[in-house]
Amino acid sequence: MLSDKTIAIVKEITPVVAANAETVTRVFYQKMFAGNPEVKAFFNQAHQHSGGQQKALAGAICAYFTHIDNLAALTPAVELIAQKHCSLGIQAEQYPIVGKHLLAAIKEVMGDAATDEILAAVGEAYQLLADVCIERERQIYEEQRTAAGGWNGYRSFVVDRKEPESDVITSFYLKPADDEPLPAWLPGQYITVKIDHPTTPTSPRNYSLSNQPGQDSFRISVKREPGLTADAPDGLISTYLHDQVQVGDTLQIGPPCGEFTLDPAEPRQTPTVMLAGGVGVTPLLSMAQSLIAAQPEAPLYFLQAARNSQTHAFAAEIQELRNQGANVRTLTLYDQPLADDLENQNCDETGILSENILREWTPFTAANFYFCGPKPFMQNVYASLKALNVPADRIHFEFFGPRQDIESAPLADEPEVTVSH
């Protein structure tokens, strides 16, 4: 537990830290990469280049300081961090490195205002959060190691199949090289792919599992990623997987991780609505297939948003949900349709997902919502659900970036699509 004095100091400096949080995190990463370059291997440099990682950390720091006297409110955030850390193999001995450079960054940005008393309080607060994360990560590592078919670190997998799903998404079916079983996992989880790139050292990547648990292989479905900014290169690892990795090749894979999950064995008392944008369909497809396989009578609404038929992935698998489940409804939206997409029934409607669609097409007063997709899609869905007064405990999503980026987004100001029941 933190001392009353520390809590009071942290609450007092929270407005100042919040106003300078992104500056602090930029300085922090610069100092850490310079002072401890070995940790750079854990960080996606494309996210560093775009500023996304700095904003995400700034948001996390602000959330922690804001809730310093109510740490229970941070339980979901701690779980997200712990799962991510375990996917990358972060160890307890690396936490002091972060703490050292974070305090140094705060001192540099705040100058004389960062007194010894303030730095001591921040250090105490950081250590408490570190201890909580370390303990949760220890539990996750133990669960992974002791599970039937489980492991820690990386395990060799062979690419058994490689199948295009659209012009931009390709699926890879991965089987253990040792022919030993796979562990149980929850729909929505991801695995980590470690690539020793031939020219550019880079960090491991997380990819959602897009098939059901209980299969003899993992399936990941990878989008060929463009550069995050105009001056950034195309996605290094996604391009390598698409162009270089072939059937028979061996990849190093970390065990399933992630907290954005659905337990298909849990009885569903209310309808489930899944909203997928682009490659965000991958965890949701796994959830949907698993739910209907376990509970064929469960009411499920699955909406998929894509650019057009060229980028639309898994059309047949999503339509197959309607054959497998007695109460499954699907809706496909294209926001940049090709000339004959609507005529050829490649989609149901054209336009973007809107509050009006959610009001007319979903049982929004009772349903649990799961959604995943690119940032503008996520922001629009979240704002629409809040406008419909859907309570927070029925809203589930996976979002990269600071929480305030999704919570402060306005509704999309674009033409709405009316969908009849």
User: How far is it, in rounded angstroms, from Cα 3 to Cα 288?
Assistant: 46
User: How far is it, in rounded angstroms, from Cα 408 to Cα 165?
Assistant: 34
Cβ neighbourhood burial of 108 (10 Å; 0-12, 13-18, 19+): middle
User: How far is it, in rounded angstroms, from Cα 297 to Cα 271?
Assistant: 10
User: How far is it, in rounded angstroms, from Cα 213 to Cα 15?
Assistant: 45
Is residue 356 within 8 Å of residue 416, measured between CB atoms? yes
Alpha-helical regions (H) of 52-209: 52-66, 75-88, 95-110, 116-146
- 206 among annotated binding-site residues: yes
- 187 among annotated binding-site residues: no
- 418 among annotated binding-site residues: no
- 111 among annotated binding-site residues: no
- 281 among annotated binding-site residues: yes
User: How far is it, in rounded angstroms, from Cα 257 to Cα 22?
Assistant: 28
Residue 398 designated active-site: no
- 399 among annotated binding-site residues: yes
Is residue 171 within 8 Å of residue 210, measured between CB atoms? yes
Which residues 6+ apart lie within 8 Å of 421 measured at CB?
360, 361
- 219 among annotated binding-site residues: no
User: How far is it, in rounded angstroms, from Cα 315 to Cα 166?
Assistant: 10
Residue 199, φ and ψ in degrees, nearest 5: -125, -30
Both tokens assigned to 360: 């007319």
- 410 among annotated binding-site residues: no
- 400 among annotated binding-site residues: yes
- 337 among annotated binding-site residues: no
- 96 among annotated binding-site residues: no
State the maximum Cα–Cα separation within the chain, in Å, rounded to a whole number.
69
Residue 79 designated active-site: no
User: How far is it, in rounded angstroms, from Cα 406 to Cα 156?
Assistant: 37
- 240 among annotated binding-site residues: no
Identified catalytic residue from 137, 259, 355, 398: 137
User: How far is it, in rounded angstroms, from Cα 59 to Cα 67?
Assistant: 12
Burial string for 237-263 (b: 16+ CB within 10 Å, else e) reads bbebbbeebeeeeebebbbbbbbbbbe
Residues forming a β-bridge with 272: 300, 368
Identified catalytic residue from 22, 29, 64, 95: 95
- 283 among annotated binding-site residues: yes
- 141 among annotated binding-site residues: no
The three-state secondary structure class of 400 is: coil
CA atoms 79, 84, 89, 92: torsion sign: negative
- 402 among annotated binding-site residues: yes
- 344 among annotated binding-site residues: no
Which H or E run contains 294?
A: helix 281-294
Q: Residues within the annotated binding site?
A: 85, 190, 205-208, 278-283, 399-402
| Residues making up the binding site for FAD | 190, 205-208, 399-402
Binding-site entries for NADP(+): 278-283
Report, as residue numbers or ranges, the catalytic residues.
95, 137
What residue numbers does the annotated binding site for heme b cover?
85
